[in-house]
């Protein structure tokens, strides 16, 4: 049966305004738009008390009985349009709600979906065309559709399609051609001939439809990299090296520090031996300790252009999740810390002066924002880890094959074969729908927990081999796993998320959040224990046979022995959907031959309008998305989670998104780490493919130079190629670009160790072919001996009251080429002469010399010259440091516009005046061209920016006037993704912003606790529910304070593995329990409140006077529901009258906020009152809301412990200083007795000074002030 519950409103205020704006653009007669949610619940018959529990889960707190059984909209009186998810598979929302229901024993609930009902009021009748247009803007047609009537069943009527034989024996190649078209296999003529001959002459049988699909995926461009490995005939002459040969040859010219290279999933370089946090036991609750382990550094790269083009948001989740699983799937398992993301989009169609209004590309602003919403970080860092390498075991007969992660869905079918198409769009719409993805971050998190738990067992790791599931689904991943021994796979052993999934789909679907592992038979029980503790599904789906075959069996009951007896001749006579020799599928195949030709393209020199001024050009350039502020990207994703981030993308006192390089630690107890940076120059490559490739490498290194690394020769790179390589002229361009890149890397002494190619970067739109610019992205990474040695772009001399000198390292040798630059783009031109590297040795020397200056602590700030040229580089340094400059460039003869806007290789350093001569001398000793071009002067938004060229003033402005232009594009994008009022408030306040006035009223120096024997230490439990991701940094902070810290899951408590009675403190860390469906921490709270034994344990724990608790972020939200803060007499959130609601911005916020610690009874904040400190915040529902009388009582009892402040240290409700809009600036609340503290900011991510993205220059403290919070708790326990 289907139960229906309705709730009003269905959208938040800002979202509703956004939808109404889109509707009005279609039909101006619409007068209003109202919304309601409809929850569709598939369930068996529920008792009344069960219905009440379900309603509690689905209802917002403090709103009482807000769910109705009937709609408030009358379809007969109003124009009602209902938009909901397509019903062909369960949404991630449903998966997580059902998970909550199972936790509270509502096992009758099978599926929960939510639709939005729109009531449209209008002055005139809406015809069918208008109505369809409105439907298209109200929902995403690839993942949602209109419900013409209320849903009565989730049975979509699909039935599993039977596999069939492809009759090659009778029909020959034509049979294969038919199935090629029907299933969208993308076989070319070579493939069709090869497979026809294979089955006719060698195997002498018909293939099945599943085998054909399998071959299409296994031997697709995505899997085989035919182009990169193929024979290249360029302009009639065969080249000596293939593309992959050229790339791999770079390894011979750099240091041999790769531990893994050119592996299927990830690469790795040698890391460091360091103390690492480890649980004593990973399959049950246990305490933590430190182990000295050698940690190697993993890097991977991912592109997901095709599914992202089909459905941007869900497609981008594929890329994000696939990147994470590539890390998990290395060796015997790896684990990750952070990630990078970059975006290439068409015209965004936002109001800018130079935009061509005639251009309306499909990749518009909404698509780019959807893609960006899935990303973890923008141009930051992917620093996963593996511990000291354990030897891989060869696949042996009798080993078990298991799948861990989510169930099988009809998702991403045919993604591998799509990579073999020359042009996307040549397949059917039905196949495009098959490529739509479904991301479930919660399942990914559970999967990662299992993988990490196994990896942290060291030599006892039960995983013998692991591979991530990607394109080609089980058909690819399971064959890779068991090669060359072979295996039998049983379809009945898979969990199906949709019973209508066919065998072909089970074998070929690219459903997400799934890995495949090999294990010994005796380790299966251990793996089940680990998976059960993390609530992650695990299926043992097959066994290694040793016969060299991959067999897929649909048998209900099977005899393993007949498959292990590979001499059994009767096996071949069995009818199986797949029964192939692995050598046939994965063995060495003849190389394909690619005949490439240059294509002549006429190029024109840059022709700028007469009378241009630097200011008028700047007004355009600073608005170009590649140049403009990326604030709209950086603030909506978590940049501090793990507590290992030493340098993310925001810098300076206002946290401006301008960092060149990203750095993370690899342990909370070490300052050793890893640095990475990104280079990409696709527009320059359109003019000169070789120069574009060289400048891509140069950009990556001129970004990396600002983090001190081991040595240049340790730098390794991942190369991502996104190119329409099979279209005329493009393959030749790619080959030349690759050759140029490899030659440069050899001279520099760096190397490629992995990457990815996407060679179908063209789409058919109507009758036209639209191709993407050939793009090479270089992501380089290297070991960091000291993560504290990082230079950021923000000018620092004015803030510390010193005179700063600006040194221009100019590697252009007098050139000022404008081709392919930001300037050329904003005047709708490309040019015919692009920037290039003039002298490789000088570039290398400049890198080495700058590294030495950083090591000697002679550099205050630095920034590379890239998009927008020298003038943009200088202005961005001003924006980040809120400081002015006085500059005079005298060494170049070209015009001011050429000099300032050319993007020639180089960078600018700010050094203290007292070190100027020393810095110049060192650079000159290395033969590096360096020029003193000016000084950093003035502090504040109204500071002057004066730029001269050969003593003539060409620009005289202020920091705020230029910065407002630079921030304009970001603001326009913010308006489309957040509450418009908040977006405007942040943008309009720029002029008022200043350096935050931090204040410290205590000495953070620590007298370290005398650590007792582990049995005598104070025990605290870090309690986590599924989806929590902030527990390890919390453990590190508590361990540093001296506690005996235990890892306790809700599953441990529910199974009575441990009780709260043994702990003095309980800690609820941050994250996204149950993906925050139905409200943050709602599911987590249900786990406590609807289990009487756990509820009683909580009551007894609070009643003990020697206990304390801390809840951060999701934990704070939990404590407010449990009623642990404020009035001690409350028992749950309904009675406490405290609720954490959605941020006023209506989106997730990650900010480096300023807070003031109040005078409160909190034991953890003792002696810290009146201090004003920076702290990380990262949440989507952090706005404290109260019943009126509750807020009054809290304030009277001094229970408000922490408040957000403005730049002057005063409590504020203004956005973005108050990131969520909490009344009275409230950020944290304690109980009346001071033993329980709940706060939305993350002190555990700020307990090391290197975790602070900005601090006053005079704060040279070794210990972070935030560590005092944890030390205070330990001290209180000792009293």
Distance CA 1168, CA 1234 (A): 14
1113 assigned to active site: yes
Query: Which pLDDT score is estimated for 115?
Result: 96
Q: Which residue has the higher pLDDT, 384 or 1212?
A: 1212
Q: What integer is the mean pLDDT of 928-943? A: 98
* Own/partner pairs, 1184-1188, CB within 8 angstroms, 24+ separation: 1184/1138, 1184/1139, 1184/1140, 1184/1141, 1184/1222, 1184/1223, 1184/1226, 1184/1229, 1184/1240, 1185/62, 1185/1138, 1185/1139, 1185/1140, 1185/1141, 1185/1223, 1186/1137, 1186/1138, 1186/1139, 1186/1223, 1187/62, 1187/1137
- Average of per-residue pLDDT values in the chain: 89
Tokens matching residue 1129:
């007499």
Domains of the chain: 2-147 (no CATH), 261-344+375-587 (3.90.650.10), 791-994 (3.90.650.10), 1019-1278 (3.40.50.880)
CB atoms within 10 A of CB 1222: 26
Query: Which pLDDT score is estimated for 1229?
Result: 98
pTM: predicted TM-score of the whole model, two decimal places? 0.93
Q: What integer is the mean pLDDT of 225-233? A: 90
Question: What is the band of 576 on the pLDDT scale with cuts at 50, 70, 90?
Answer: very high
Q: Which of 260-269, 618-627, 649-658 has the lowest mean pLDDT?
A: 260-269
Active-site entry in 510, 1244, 1246, 1277: 1244
Q: Which residue has the higher pLDDT, 395 or 284?
A: 284
Query: Which pLDDT score is estimated for 356?
Result: 45
Q: Which residue has the higher pLDDT, 103 or 348?
A: 103
Distance CA 183, CA 173 (A): 15
Question: How far apart, in Å, are the Cα atoms of 278 and each of 387, 527, 1032, 1046?
Answer: 12, 18, 9, 11
1040 assigned to active site: no
Distance CA 1170, CA 1001 (A): 7
1244 assigned to active site: yes
Q: Which of 223-237, 1003-1017, 1060-1074 has the lowest mean pLDDT?
A: 1003-1017
Question: What is the band of 362 on the pLDDT scale with cuts at 50, 70, 90?
Answer: very low
Task: Encode pLDDT of 149-172 as tens digits.
Answer: 999 999 877 788 899 999 999 999
- DSSP-assigned letters across all residues of 985-1027: HHHHTGGG------B--S-----------GGGSPEEEEEE-TT
Q: 367 pLDDT exceeds 80? A: no
Q: What integer is the mean pLDDT of 382-408? A: 69
Query: Which pLDDT score is estimated for 343?
Result: 78
Question: What is the band of 117 on the pLDDT scale with cuts at 50, 70, 90?
Answer: very high
Cβ contact 760:651 at 8 Å:
no
Tokens matching residue 373:
């919403």
Q: How far apart are the first and last CA of the chain?
A: 59
Task: Please report, rounded to a whole number, the percentage of residues in the chain having pLDDT higher than 90.
Answer: 72
Active-site entry in 780, 1242, 1246, 1277: 1242
Query: What residues does 780 pair with on adjacent strands?
Result: 677, 717
Task: Encode pLDDT of 293-338 as tens digits.
Answer: 999 999 887 776 666 666 666 666 767 777 777 787 788 888 888 8
Q: 376 pLDDT exceeds 50? A: no
Query: Which pLDDT score is estimated for 587?
Result: 77
Distance CA 495, CA 409 (A): 9
Query: Which pLDDT score is estimated for 341?
Result: 78
Query: Which pLDDT score is estimated for 574?
Result: 60
Q: What integer is the mean pLDDT of 91-116? A: 94
Task: Encode pLDDT of 961-1003 as tens digits.
Answer: 999 999 999 999 999 889 999 999 999 999 999 999 999 999 9
Q: 884 pLDDT exceeds 70? A: yes
Q: 381 pLDDT exceeds 60? A: no
Distance CA 1276, CA 1105 (A): 12
Q: 784 pLDDT exceeds 90? A: yes
Query: Which pLDDT score is estimated for 156?
Result: 75
Q: 371 pLDDT exceeds 50? A: no
Distance CA 350, CA 973 (A): 8
Active-site entry in 1113, 1116, 1150, 1246: 1113
Task: Encode pLDDT of 1171-1195 as tens digits.
Answer: 999 999 999 999 999 988 899 999 9
Q: 480 pLDDT exceeds 70? A: yes
Nearest to 677 by CA among 847, 795, 838, 546: 847
Query: Which pLDDT score is estimated for 758?
Result: 83
User: 2-16, 20-34, 819-833: which has the highest mean pLDDT?
Assistant: 819-833
Task: Encode pLDDT of 438-473 as tens digits.
Answer: 778 889 899 999 999 999 999 999 999 998 888 789
Alpha carbon 618 to its chain centroid, in Å, reads 32
What percent of the residues of the chain are helix, what percent strand, and what percent coil, each to the nearest 5?
Answer: 35, 25, 40
Query: Which pLDDT score is estimated for 308?
Result: 66
Query: Which pLDDT score is estimated for 419?
Result: 46
* Alpha-carbon dihedral sign for residues 655, 659, 664, 670: negative
Question: What is the band of 204 on the pLDDT scale with cuts at 50, 70, 90?
Answer: very high
Q: What integer is the mean pLDDT of 1005-1027? A: 83
Query: Which pLDDT score is estimated for 333?
Result: 83
Task: Encode pLDDT of 525-569 as tens digits.
Answer: 999 999 999 999 999 999 999 999 999 999 887 777 777 775 555
Query: Which pLDDT score is estimated for 87?
Result: 84
Distance CA 294, CA 1202 (A): 40
Q: Which residue has the higher pLDDT, 367 or 1156?
A: 1156
Name residue, tokens 């002055």: 123
Query: Which pLDDT score is estimated for 300?
Result: 85
């Amino acid at each position: 049966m289907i139960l229906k519950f309705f709730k009003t409103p269905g959208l938040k205020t800002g979202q509703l305004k956004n939808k109404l704006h889109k509707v009005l653009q279609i039909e101006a007669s619409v007068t209003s738009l109202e919304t309601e949610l409809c929850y569709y619940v598939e369930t068996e018959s529920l008792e009344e008390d069960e219905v009440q529990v379900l309603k509690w889960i689905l209802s917002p707190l403090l709103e009482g009985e807000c769910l109705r059984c009937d709609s408030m909209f009358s379809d007969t009186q109003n124009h009602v349009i209902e938009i909901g998810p397509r019903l062909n598979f369960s949404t991630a929302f449903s998966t997580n709600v059902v998970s909550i229901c199972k936790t509270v024993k509502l096992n009758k609930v099978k599926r929960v979906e939510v639709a939005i009902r729109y009531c449209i009021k209008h002055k005139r009748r809406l015809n069918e065309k208008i109505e369809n247009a409105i439907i298209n803007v109200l929902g995403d047609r690839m993942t949602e559709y209109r419900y013409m009537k209320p849903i009565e069943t989730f049975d979509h009527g699909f039935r599993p399609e039977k596999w069939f034989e492809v009759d090659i024996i009778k029909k020959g190649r034509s049979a294969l051609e038919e199935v090629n078209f029907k299933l969208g296999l993308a076989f070319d003529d070579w493939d069709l001939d090869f497979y026809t001959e294979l089955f006719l002459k060698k195997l002498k049988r018909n293939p099945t439809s599943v085998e054909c699909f399998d071959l299409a995926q296994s031997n697709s461009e995505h899997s085989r990299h035919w182009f990169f490995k193929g024979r290249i005939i360029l302009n009639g002459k065969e080249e000596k090296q293939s593309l992959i040969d050229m790339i791999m040859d770079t390894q011979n010219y750099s240091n041999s520090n790769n531990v893994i290279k050119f592996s299927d999933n990830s690469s790795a370089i040698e890391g460091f031996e360091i103390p690492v946090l480890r649980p004593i036991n990973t399959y049950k609750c246990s305490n933590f300790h430190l182990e000295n382990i050698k940690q190697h550094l993993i890097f991977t790269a991912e592109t997901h252009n095709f599914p992202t083009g089909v459905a941007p948001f869900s497609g981008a989740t594929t890329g994000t999740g696939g990147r994470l699983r590539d890390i998990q799937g290395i060796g015997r398992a790896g684990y990750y810390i952070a990630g990078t993301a970059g975006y290439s989009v068409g015209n965004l169609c936002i109001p800018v002066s130079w935009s061509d209004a005639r251009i309306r590309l499909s990749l518009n602003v909404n698509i780019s924002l959807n893609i960006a919403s899935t990303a973890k970080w923008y141009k930051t860092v992917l620093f996963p880890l593996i511990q000291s390498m354990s030897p891989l075991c060869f696949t042996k007969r009798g080993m078990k094959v298991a799948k861990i992660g989510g169930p099988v869905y009809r998702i991403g079918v045919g993604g591998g074969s799509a990579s073999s198409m020359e042009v996307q769009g040549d397949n059917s719409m039905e196949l495009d729908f098959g490529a739509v993805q479904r991301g479930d971050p919660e399942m990914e998190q559970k999967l990662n927990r299992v993988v990490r738990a196994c990896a942290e067992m060291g030599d006892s790791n039960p995983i013998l081999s692991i591979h991530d599931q990607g394109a080609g689904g089980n058909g690819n991943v399971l064959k890779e796993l068991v090669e060359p021994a072979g295996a039998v796979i049983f379809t009945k052993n898979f969990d199906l998320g949709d019973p209508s999934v066919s065998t072909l789909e089970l074998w070929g679907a690219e459903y997400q959040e799934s890995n495949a592992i090999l294990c010994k038979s005796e380790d299966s029980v251990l793996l089940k224990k680990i998976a059960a503790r993390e609530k992650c599904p695990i299926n043992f789906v097959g066994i290694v046979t040793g016969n060299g075959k991959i067999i897929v069996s649909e048998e209900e009951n099977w005899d393993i022995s007949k498959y292990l007896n590979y001499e059994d001749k009767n096996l071949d006579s069995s009818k199986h959907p797949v029964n192939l020799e692995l050598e046939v599928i994965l063995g060495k195949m003849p190389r394909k031959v690619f005949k490439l030709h240059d294509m002549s393209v006429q190029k024109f020199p840059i022709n700028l309008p007469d009378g241009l001024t630097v200011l008028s050009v700047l007004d355009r350039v600073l608005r170009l998305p590649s140049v403009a502020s990326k604030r709209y990207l950086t603030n909506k994703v978590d940049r501090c989670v793990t507590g290992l981030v030493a340098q993310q993308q925001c810098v300076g006192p206002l946290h401006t998104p301008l960092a060149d390089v990203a750095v993370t630690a690899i342990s909370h107890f070490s300052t050793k780490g890893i640095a990475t940076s990104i280079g990409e120059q696709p527009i320059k490559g359109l003019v000169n493919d070789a120069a574009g490739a060289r400048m891509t490498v140069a950009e990556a290194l001129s970004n990396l130079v600002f983090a001190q690394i081991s040595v240049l020769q340790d730098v390794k790179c991942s190369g991502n190629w996104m190119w329409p390589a099979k279209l005329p002229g493009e393959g030749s361009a790619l080959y030349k670009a690759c050759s140029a890149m490899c030659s440069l890397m050899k001279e520099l002494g760096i190397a490629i160790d992995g990457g990815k190619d996407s060679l179908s970067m063209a789409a058919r739109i109507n009758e036209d072919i639209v191709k993407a610019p050939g793009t090479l992205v270089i992501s380089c990474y290297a070991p960091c001996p000291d993560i504290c040695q990082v230079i950021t772009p923000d000018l620092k001399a004015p803030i510390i009251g010193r005179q700063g000198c600006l040194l221009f390292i100019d590697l252009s040798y007098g050139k000022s080429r404008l081709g392919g630059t930001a300037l050329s783009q904003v005047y709708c031109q490309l040019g015919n002469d692009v920037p290039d590297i003039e002298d490789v040795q000088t570039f290398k020397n400049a890198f080495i010399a700058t590294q030495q200056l950083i090591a000697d602590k002679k550099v205050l700030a630095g920034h590379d010259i890239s998009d927008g040229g020298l003038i943009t580089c200088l202005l961005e340094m001003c924006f980040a440091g809120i400081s002015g400059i006085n500059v005079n460039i005298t060494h170049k003869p070209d015009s001011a516009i050429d000099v300032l806007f050319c993007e020639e290789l180089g960078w600018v350093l700010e050094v203290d005046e007292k070190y100027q001569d020393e810095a110049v001398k060192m650079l000159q000793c290395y033969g590096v061209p360096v020029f003193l071009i000016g000084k950093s002067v003035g502090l504040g938004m109204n500071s002057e920016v004066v730029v001269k060229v050969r003593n003539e003033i060409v620009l005289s402005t202020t920091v705020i006037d230029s910065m407002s232009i630079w921030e304009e594009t970001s603001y326009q994008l913010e308006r489309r993704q957040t509450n418009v009022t908040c977006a405007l408030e942040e943008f309009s306040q720029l002029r008022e912003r200043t350096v935050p006035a931090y204040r410290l009223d205590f000495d953070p120096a620590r007298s370290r606790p005398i650590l007792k024997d582990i049995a005598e230490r104070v025990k605290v439990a870090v309690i986590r529910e599924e989806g929590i991701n902030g527990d390890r940094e919390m453990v590190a902070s508590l361990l540093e304070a001296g506690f005996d810290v235990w890892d306790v899951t809700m599953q441990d408590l529910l199974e009575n593995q441990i009780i709260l009675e043994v702990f003095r403190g309980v800690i609820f860390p941050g994250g996204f329990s149950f993906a925050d469906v139905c409200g943050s921490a709602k599911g987590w709270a249900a786990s406590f409140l609807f289990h009487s034994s756990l509820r009683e344990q909580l009551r007894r724990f609070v009643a003990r006077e020697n206990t304390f608790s801390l809840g951060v972020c999701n934990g704070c939200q939990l404590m407010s529901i449990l009623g642990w803060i404020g009035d001690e007499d409350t028992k749950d959130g309904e009675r406490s009258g405290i609720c954490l609601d959605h941020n006023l911005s209506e989106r997730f916020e990650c900010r480096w906020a300023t807070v003031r610690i109040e005078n409160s009874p909190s034991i953890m904040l003792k002696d810290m009152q009146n201090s004003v400190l920076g702290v990380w915040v990262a949440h989507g529902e952090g706005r404290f809301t109260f019943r009126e009388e509750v807020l009054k009582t809290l304030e009277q009892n001094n229970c408000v412990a922490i408040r957000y402040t403005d730049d002057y240290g005063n409590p504020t409700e203004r956005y973005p200083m108050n990131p969520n809009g909490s009344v009275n600036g409230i950020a944290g609340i304690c109980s009346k007795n001071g033993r329980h503290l709940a706060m939305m900011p993350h002190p555990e991510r700020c307990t090391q000074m290197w975790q602070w993205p900005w601090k006053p220059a005079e704060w040279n403290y070794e210990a972070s002030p935030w560590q005092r919070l944890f030390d205070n708790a330990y001290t209180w326990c000792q009293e």
